[in-house]
Structure 1
Amino acid sequence: MIVASDTVLGDVERDENGLHSVKVRWGNKDISTHLMVERHGDPSTCISVARELVQHLDLHVPSARSVAAHDLVELANDWRESDDSPELDASDLHELFEFDALLVFEDGTIEFCFTDGDVFAGHAVIVDRAPDGTFSNARFEG
């Protein structure tokens, strides 16, 4: 069900489980953007944060990807120790991690989600961005 229409984001939908989401275009790819709203909550704060973010994805995505690559390079090489693959550096990871989704929280926190390029056996790579715009806490999940 469409719960809001935004001039930048387009139609914001809420599914049967209460998850608010919208697809945004970045480059030649549709990026799933999930608005993490309290159940039966008002998505307007998340929409506002997402709108500002989406207008500047060309700045934010490379920054988030760089944080992920830098923070996870040692762990990536630990995962590869068991095979004969060459050691990776941050620039290798930067190329392998593909932007996949956004989670936008009511407090302004954002999670940038990347595919892992099979570095971590298909796990998602997540980078947190605080409401003040600082990136931190690169990790993989899933």
Structure 2
Amino acid sequence: MNYPDIECPELGTLRYEENYDWYEGQLIVQQSKLSIQLLTDEDGAVASALKRATDFVKELEKHAQSARDYAAEGLLAIKNETWIEDEDEEPLTPEQFKERMVLDSISIDSDAAVSFYHNDGDLFWGHCILVTMDSENNFTGAEIAG
């Protein structure tokens, strides 16, 4: 099946990636490139994810900050109790934890759930920090992935 590119004023050009069954594009947020993926539904349609994404990016910076806050609440204790490299390393504050996180990409599925993928700034030795949000903008999880 041929999936044409989608041109969207809020999201730019989105190209279908057949290997992953999603549309992908790039956003510029605070002078950094951010990848965005919109997953297709069981019929191969992307309309619901596209609608969510166009609304979502209007408040992306607010949501991204909230995702970092949520990750720090859920993962800071794990970092400070389990992922300290040596006895000379000091436990991190929430602010230090959040400063090291860098948002790399967001993924929006057909049910309007959003996944925030962060570079961990070596908090967890290169693993990804994944924060998930439901369609009502409620955070549902923060985990170490990859």
TM-score by length of 1: 0.92
Number of residue equivalences: 142
Partner of 1:13: 15
- Runs of 4+ displaced beyond 6 Å: none
TM-score by length of 2: 0.90
Q: Which runs of 5+ in 1 are unaligned?
A: none
> How big is the shift at 1:3?
2.5
Tell me the distance in 1 between the aligned counterparts of 2:4 and 2:12.
10
SS where residue 5 of structure 2 aligns?
strand
Deviations 1:46-76 (A, max 9, x none): 1111111111112111000000011101111
Tell me the distance in 2 between the aligned counterparts of 1:83 and 1:55.
44
Tell me the distance in 2 between the aligned counterparts of 1:76 and 1:2.
44
Q: Match for 2:77: what amino acid?
A: E
- Kept after mapping to 2: 8 A contact 1:127/1:138: yes
Q: Which runs of 5+ in 2 are unaligned?
A: none
CA RMSD of aligned residues (A): 1.6
Deviations 1:17-72 (A, max 9, x none): 13311111111011100112146611111111111111111211100000001110
Tell me the distance in 2 between the aligned counterparts of 1:28 and 1:59.
16
Tell me the distance in 1 between the aligned counterparts of 2:115 and 2:9.
23
